[in-house]
Amino acid sequence: MPQPISVPTDSEVRLADFDPADTSGIDNKKAARKELKDNVEILADLGYRLYAENQRALLLVLQGMDSSGKDGTIRHVMRGFNPQSCRVTSFKQPSVEELDHDFLWRIGRAAPRKGNVGIFNRSHYEDVLVVRVHNLVPEDQWQSRFARINTFEKLLTAGGTKIVKVFLHISRDEQQRRLQARLDNPKKRWKFSRADLAERRFWDDYQRAYEDVLTRCNGEYAPWHIVPADHKWYRNLIVSRILREALEQLSPQYPPAEEGLESIVVE
Ligand code: AMP
Ligand code: MG
């Protein structure tokens, strides 16, 4: 039976129940790549219509452990979007100025404008993940953030932004292979950070923190998708399907033309 990608709103998520290497019985990589290619084209068209309509926005929130493939997913799945109406924001350690504000300040500023696709490479969820695992703020503060994140996402949704949240689920073994590959491959070495090795030691703490995120911030208005990400081709295929479905549901329309345009002839 194929593994579910979404979980019901009120269910408690245990990541051990989700196989990061699942490919749901699809073994034809060639067909998967073809479908991805088709989806990229369809996404381009839907993104263009969203831009033309200029009423609503799409926000993709990408989360996952180090080396889970956030960058690769953006490169392979989002390549069709028009750079004019698509913006990727990669959230790093907050700056001094950002730390002087509430954690949602920098997030709200990066939210996509009408007609645009916004992609968050990491997001406000870091403020209940890395912040929690490393005790960067007292527990009562990070605990209060779950409810505030839900309120924030509800507000964005009410304002016309469709939020799609994707958790790229990889295994500990796969992370080991990918980090090692970064060391072994001169073209990937720039991506290696010693900090990733330190973070890897907190694997179980992160998994628990993610389980809380997936359980407590999974409202109907902005549900999580748990995407098996050990196989890159499958990850790309599933994310392209999720985005396609979200944009098809929005069904953006070209704005109605001004009356009388059909009789104008440009000389
Ligand atoms: P990378 O995604 O590899 O460029 O790394 C970005 C780093 O910034 C990761 O180690 C994140 O955990 C860290 N980061 C992102 N957001 C926050 C945050 N709100 N507080 C602390 N660290 C963060
Ligand atoms: Mg990194």
Residue 22 beta carbon below 6 angstroms from any ligand 1 atom: no
Report d(CA 104, CA 95) in Å as an integer.
13
Residue type, 19: D
Residues whose CB falls within 8 Å of the CB of residue 59, separated by 6 or more in sequence, listed in order: 111, 112, 117, 118, 119, 120, 156, 161, 162, 163, 164
In angstroms and rounded to an integer, the radius of gyration of the C-alpha atoms of the chain is: 20
Contact yes or no for 202/135 (Cβ under 8 A): no
Name residue, tokens 């605990």. Answer: 143
The β-bridge partners of 90 are 121
pLDDT in tens, 123-180: 999 999 999 999 999 999 999 999 999 999 999 999 999 999 999 999 999 999 999 9
Name residue, tokens 């998708």. Answer: 225
Mean pLDDT, the chain, whole residue set: 97
Q: What's the confidence (pLDDT) of residue 238?
A: 97
Distance 67 CA to ligand 2 centre (A): 7
Q: What's the confidence (pLDDT) of residue 1?
A: 63
Distance 126 CA to ligand 2 centre (A): 13
Q: What's the confidence (pLDDT) of residue 162?
A: 98
∠ CA 107-150-114, nearest 5°, is: 50
Query: Which CATH architecture is the domain 15-252 placed in?
Result: 3-Layer(aba) Sandwich (3.40)
Distance 42 CA to ligand 1 centre (A): 32
Report d(CA 227, CA 13) in Å as an integer.
13
Domain parsing of the chain, residue ranges: 15-252
Q: Which ligand is nearest the CA of 89, by number? A: 1
DSSP 3-state of 249: helix
pLDDT in tens, 185-240: 999 999 999 999 999 999 999 999 999 999 999 999 999 999 999 999 999 999 99
Report d(CA 265, CA 134) in Å as an integer.
66
Report d(CA 35, CA 108) in Å as an integer.
34
Question: Which run of H or of E encompasses 88?
Answer: strand 86-90
Residue 86 predicted with pLDDT over 70: yes
Q: Which ligand is nearest the CA of 71, by number? A: 1
What is the reported pTM? 0.97
Residue 73 predicted with pLDDT over 90: yes
Q: What's the confidence (pLDDT) of residue 2?
A: 72
Ranges 59-73, 159-173, 253-267: which has the least confidence: 253-267
Report d(CA 128, CA 146) in Å as an integer.
8
Q: What's the confidence (pLDDT) of residue 25?
A: 80
